Structure 1
């Protein structure tokens, strides 16, 4: 019995189909079949039974599955801890951030920290949406993140860092371009386009709008301000977005939307159960200490007046 056989067994048990399991494992179906047969021969029992195109665990397979899952989880966690420790011992801090922070705020913060700190860690940046950031923290790929609150990872520690203003954007020949402020109720009858609800900001913005005007015609298709602005200018619709640096290259009219100021809250996120190097702990403390300064920096990038 070897590790590959255990990983193959787990994948087949979860996919329930040889073809899908083999594709996920990047091996051929015959290779998977031989591996499972060898495992069954060694254990002197059938682990799977066929049910049409699918397979399912036998009673022996279910017992073995629980053992394999527990064993592989322990092994995977051990590998993750070693990988993190090696990276930290090399002076690395893996930090993931949402796209609007990765190229503006994050370089500024890391430079400030390195100037203040007696140590000089090497920051490795990762650009991802919020859910993928939290998933990466769980899997040990990232040490900390800057992103939205993700309900699926509510056990993580979330420290509010800054808010992004939610605004309406329209083309300058749109009738609404005469306004400087608008309420969700006043968007009734308009076609409103905002972020996909597959990402956290899309859920947050849509919920905030519908809480004030439940009959709005909202289209949730796109993932960032660039794509939404393109639709606004092409189709003369109303976009509801965070006021980010991505909007600076477009000739659009911005309108303040009367939504709660924390509709778009961005957090410092980390798993407090993880073992951190002194450098990571110092950087977390640095971010916590400078929360007010961080908000001012974000506003300065966008020339936001508060």
Structure 2
């Protein structure tokens, strides 16, 4: 089925006149007659019927017009998208854990778009399930161009940019023995039960590493996945917790204690697939992040 013939058919259907359609398309009327004849022969049904000096669609033609219109629209959208990619514009598909998606990533997107020459770039920001492993899987499958995650992926699969994030803190409910302190060492928390990150949570490896650094194991009373839930359970008295320092903690009934030892600093990562051929705009954004994130504490 010839693509030009479909465009000719659509124009005739909209004009309901062969002559006017020929003028709009800048083709001869015999070419239009030939195109419709070919389509009708291939489909086995009449597409137009005479209506005085005009033509109108048959019931078969009305059904066919709907399909042709949708197909041509999708084709034109895809063509425009590929043309944008080829000139440095286009769509950048980002993934992010939710904490970074709330502020850090939108700020990077905004500042990048303010750069000269990036006016044609568009972003889609996806959080998937919010877990690093799911986001990395989407990058590996090339459903995302890159993702902001809490731990790096397999270095044989991913290229990752590390950057600093706000430190971990210990949070305790009011009235807890540690609530009288202004800061704590991790060793001082060992006698108390913890609300802890489950193994599915992206922050679990980082917290585990802190306890390994002091050669100890926490007393885990409850496990859950998201840091806001961990903090909420601590506020409700289910145990103490280690969570990233974040303004939302100030909205909960908690005492927030900086950790003086071991180092509670933490790292996040922007990861892309090593072998993926990124659109030019996505490559520019990755490079922009490499330069910007080295100067920020997120």
Normalised by the length of structure 2, the TM-score is 0.65
- Cα deviations across residues 233-269 of structure 1 (Å, max 9, x unaligned)? 222521111112432321311111223344x310111
Q: Which is greater in Rg?
A: 2
Provide closer, same or farther for how the CA distance between residues 241 and 134 of structure 1 changes in structure 2, counting only shifts above 3 A. Answer: same
**Partners of 1:153 and 1:130 in 2: how far apart?**
15
Correspondence for 1:96: 95
**Partners of 1:247 and 1:88 in 2: how far apart?**
43
CA contact (8 A) 1:195 1:224 kept: yes
Provide closer, same or farther for how the CA distance between residues 267 and 101 of structure 1 changes in structure 2, counting only shifts above 3 A. Answer: same
**Partners of 1:251 and 1:153 in 2: how far apart?**
41
Correspondence for 1:112: 111
Provide closer, same or farther for how the CA distance between residues 280 and 117 of structure 1 changes in structure 2, counting only shifts above 3 A. Answer: farther
Correspondence for 2:44: none
- Match of 2:148, SS state, is strand
Map 1:267-282 → 2, pairs under 5 A: 267-282=269-284
**Partners of 2:226 and 2:122 in 1: how far apart?**
29
Correspondence for 1:57: none
Correspondence for 1:165: 167
Normalised by the length of structure 1, the TM-score is 0.63
Provide closer, same or farther for how the CA distance between residues 190 and 116 of structure 1 changes in structure 2, counting only shifts above 3 A. Answer: same
Provide closer, same or farther for how the CA distance between residues 149 and 220 of structure 1 changes in structure 2, counting only shifts above 3 A. Answer: farther
**Partners of 2:208 and 2:110 in 1: how far apart?**
35
Provide closer, same or farther for how the CA distance between residues 286 and 211 of structure 1 changes in structure 2, counting only shifts above 3 A. Answer: same
- State yes or no: 1:259 paired with 2:262: yes
Map 1:167-246 → 2, pairs under 5 A: 167-219=169-221, 221-235=223-237, 237-246=239-248
Structure 2 gaps, min length 5: 1-77
Correspondence for 2:48: none
**Partners of 1:87 and 1:209 in 2: how far apart?**
52
Provide closer, same or farther for how the CA distance between residues 291 and 273 of structure 1 changes in structure 2, counting only shifts above 3 A. Answer: same
CA contact (8 A) 1:193 1:238 kept: yes
**Partners of 1:117 and 1:137 in 2: how far apart?**
28
| Cα RMSD for the two superposed structures | 2.3
Correspondence for 1:143: 145
* Residue-pair matches, total: 212
- Match of 2:114, SS state, is helix
